[in-house]
Amino acid sequence: MKKFEDILVSAKNKGLKKIAVAFAQDEDVLKAIKAAVNAGICVPILVGDKEKIEEISKEVDFVLEDIEIIDEKDGNLAARKAVELVSSGKADVVMKGLIDTSIILKAVLDKEIGLRTGNTLSHAAVFAIEKYHKLLLITDAAMNIAPDAEEKRQILENSLRVTRSLGIENPKVAVVCAKEKVSSKMQATVDAQELVQMQKDGKITGCIVEGPFGLDNAISKEAAELKGVHGAVAGDADILLMPNIEAGNVLYKALTYFSDSENAGIILGAKAPIVLTSRADSDVAKLNSIALAVLCS
Ligand SMILES: CCCC(=O)OP(=O)(O)O
């Protein structure tokens, strides 16, 4: 199974990328940046409260000698500055630091300095879970609140960029719902049916889409068999296309806190990838996310 160590190596092979960190004054963010610099993956530009960045960097033994710091004590302005560094070509990747997801996304979506392309933006999280036999991509845990079937198609297209970068051929996509039968009372199951049809009609290519699935049937062959759920994806999903942000975010955090796992998270669909983890994620998750963003850049 591909592991995050392999992703770090592949990211390094892409050459040094400039990463603009929005509100960098956080211990785990600075530990992750230090590790990414030491691994030869990135050159950072740290935007945030300079005094705090310097203080925390001392605590984590991160030598800032050659590192550019842009002093900005306001979170909104720091996010704008970091995004602007990318839209003006001075950096390749944006990273969310110690700020709320909505603040960084607002800057990313800004009409003047943002990174819009016209495509739907979405979050993709990659997990390596001790009890699962391969990497598992979960989307969307952070951005699209209640996507309809067409928006789910675009979210899926974005996630295929990640699986392609990871070398996963023809990924198996499970459209996750609360049950495996289509019910007009549960819109997510109707969307799942529509997405399966989109693939049959050639509107989705480069993956196998099946659903609706209960989460258990998507990731456990035993559960799928017991419930009479058959198909190529049952128990062997590469991508879990979640019904809405609540399900996606809860699954992301449940895996982070209840399982033996490592993860990474990025936003796709903008002019450049955005490193986006939970503020409470570990330095390792943040480092993995930097590597994933570089790989997808
Ligand atoms: C990918 C998780 C996004 C999120 O929930 O971020 P916060 O925990 O920082 O709100």
Domains of the chain: 4-117+270-296 (3.40.50.10950), 122-261 (3.40.718.10)
The number of helix segments (H) and strand segments (E) in the chain equals 11, 11
Q: How far apart are CA 268 and CA 162, in angstroms?
A: 9
One digit per residue, the tens of pLDDT, for the chain of length 297 reads 668 999 999 999 999 999 999 999 999 999 999 999 999 999 999 999 999 999 999 999 999 999 999 999 999 999 999 999 999 999 999 999 999 999 999 999 999 999 999 999 999 999 999 999 999 999 999 999 999 999 999 999 999 999 999 999 999 999 999 999 999 999 999 999 999 999 999 999 999 999 999 999 999 999 999 999 999 999 999 999 999 999 999 999 999 999 999 999 999 999 999 999 999 999 999 999 999 999 999
Write down the ipTM of this complex: 0.97
Q: What would the 3-class secondary structure string for 152-178 be?
A: HHHHHHHHHHHHHHCCCCCCEEEEECC
- Closest residue to atom 6 of ligand 1, CA basis: 278
Task: Give the mutation target among 95, 257, 274, 279 for probing the ligand 1 site: most ligand atoms within 8 A of CB.
Answer: 279
Residue whose CA is closest, atom 5 of ligand 1? 278
**pTM for this model (two decimals):** 0.95
Distance from residue 275's CA to the centre of ligand 1 (Å): 12
Distance between CA atoms of residues 28 and 234, nearest Å: 37
CA–CA separation, 279 vs 39, rounded Å?
A: 22
**Is residue 35 a contact partner of residue 11, using CB atoms and an 8 Å limit?**
no
CA distance 218 to 60: 41
